[in-house]
Amino acid sequence: MQPGSRAPAKETRIVLENCGRIDPESLSEAVKAGAYKAVTQVVREKRPSAEITAEIKRSGLRGRGGAGFPTGVKWSFTAPGDVKYIVCNADEGEPGTFKDRLILEGDPHKLLEGMMLAGYAVGASKGYVYIRGEYSLSIRRIQKAIDDARAGGYLGDAVLGSSFAFDIEVKKGAGAYVCGEETSLIESIEGKRGYPRLKPPYPGSVGLWKKPTVVNNVETLANVPAIIARGADWFRGFGTASSPGTKVFQILGDVETPKAVEVEMGTPLRTLIEAFGGGIRAGKRFKAALLGGAAGAIVGPGALEMPMDFDGAKERGGVLGSGAILVLDEDASVVELLHGILRFFRHESCGQCVPCRVGASVLVTLSERIRSGAATADDLERLVEVARTMQATSLCPLGQSPILPIQTAVDSFREEFEARMAKPCGAGA
């Protein structure tokens, strides 16, 4: 991977199309750039709500919060009821992830319109944006956008003079990773400690204040206005058949130019690292990448041709997750990377259930033994075994997650682990 051999890189922007082009604090600039066009058309033409859900279903839009669940299908699963909620998940706690912040800070009206269309589609009249407290600029911008949209008649009891009522409130999170999980997020909005709920029931049936609730990620919702304005077929013209559209990737670590880019789904990992990330820093060689955040996969050079879409990545032992790509050069240590991840899980385990509370601690102890040379021969297998038990028995996906980075790291870098067990270096790279 030599910096000189890079092809010119071109982004395809849908959710970030206005970022850096408009004043994010100006409603009139946003409207000039197309904000609220789709929702205006929908309420003026009194389009049936089922039509909006059907269009999102047809577009193939999948959740950008990590799991890739089809958005239209989620909306259609919302149980009947007089009171329903739309919750925008802007917690963005996944390490290395900052894509939602770009939308919140660069084009907040796009997100608000996405929430309004979701509300119209499922019959909700109230939305919440749950943002981590550290995102002070995001909070300020989204709050200003809400205030301006309300004053402009886009939000309120009669959206654009129609019978559709929709309003949005901001809720600040206190910075716990687990509060990004949809049910603990709901608990947190309700003012309780952010403990995940057992699923089922899913939020679509029993959500916020026990009412049917749609929880969607910022990037997911920001795709909705363009799909409704330009149609599902237009959206399907980007990306792959099973993952249409674009994805915002964050390229970090040992690359020349760390950045966030919006490209078509299915763009190869090599293109993201070489063409957008500028290649490996200081002309070094690529060693590994952590894909999708702490709950992601650690892949080696064999994965560079991996198409970065939900299914393409999964088929090749990777994962898309939040779209964070942490790149490691030849000098970095996968043993140390994994150790950092496991410490993160121990720190972020909410402690509600035993397998995760105890298991996350045991993982760190085993990893500590491996890196310090105090491990016994079977400690590496034990690490995998404990994570597998956590996957099978933990209450929420946080405790079920460590198996992926552990298994992928051990599969691709077993020799490095075994060498470290035999001869600890303590470099901490």
Q: Is 66 in the site for ligand SF4 (CB under 6 A)?
A: no
Q: Is 220 in the site for ligand FMN (CB under 6 A)?
A: yes
Cβ atoms of residues 179 and 131 within 8 Å: no
Coil, strand, or helix at residue 85?
A: strand
Q: Is 14 in the site for ligand SF4 (CB under 6 A)?
A: no
Q: Is 315 exposed, middle or buried (0-12, 13-18, 19+ CB in 10 A)?
A: exposed
Cα Rg for the chain, rounded, in angstroms?
Answer: 22
**What's the N-to-C CA distance of the chain in angstroms?**
21
> How far, in Å, CA of 367 to CA of 59, rounded?
44
Q: How far is the CB of 202 from ligand SF4 (least distance, A)?
A: 16
> How far, in Å, CA of 358 to CA of 422, rounded?
27
Q: Is 66 in the site for ligand FMN (CB under 6 A)?
A: yes
Q: Which does 101 bind (CB under 5 to 8 A by kind): ligand SF4, ligand FMN, none?
A: none
Binding mask 84-113 for ligand FMN (x = CB under 6 A): -----x-xxxx-------------------
> How far, in Å, CA of 288 to CA of 285, rounded?
10
Coil, strand, or helix at residue 127?
A: strand
Q: Is 182 in the site for ligand FMN (CB under 6 A)?
A: yes
* DSSP letter (8 states) at residue 401: S
Stretch that binds ligand SF4, among 133-141, 267-275, 279-287, 391-399 (CB under 6 A): 391-399
Q: Which does 351 bind (CB under 5 to 8 A by kind): ligand FMN, ligand SF4, none?
A: ligand SF4
Q: Is 177 in the site for ligand FMN (CB under 6 A)?
A: yes
Cβ atoms of residues 339 and 363 within 8 Å: no
Binding mask 358-397 for ligand FMN (x = CB under 6 A): --------------------------------------xx
Q: Is 417 in the site for ligand FMN (CB under 6 A)?
A: no
Continuous H helices in 300-333: 310-315
Return the residue matching tokens 């298991």: 359
Binders of ligand SF4: how many residues, by CB under 6 A? 14
Binding mask 159-198 for ligand SF4 (x = CB under 6 A): -------------------x-----------------x--
Residue ranges in 110-169 that form contacts with ligand SF4 under rule CB under 6 A: none
Q: How far is the CB of 31 from ligand SF4 (least distance, A)?
A: 42
Residue 261 vs 350, nearer CB to ligand SF4: 350
User: Which of 332, 307, 329, 326 lies closest to 405, judged by CA?
Assistant: 326
User: Which of 289, 319, 240, 271 lies closest to 66, judged by CA?
Assistant: 319
Residues 6+ apart with CB under 8 A from 395: 196, 198, 352, 353, 355, 356
Residue numbers of the site for ligand FMN (CB under 6 A)? Answer: 63-67, 69, 89, 91-94, 177-178, 180-182, 215-217, 220, 396-398
Residue numbers of the site for ligand SF4 (CB under 6 A)? Answer: 178, 196, 349-353, 356-357, 394-396, 398-399
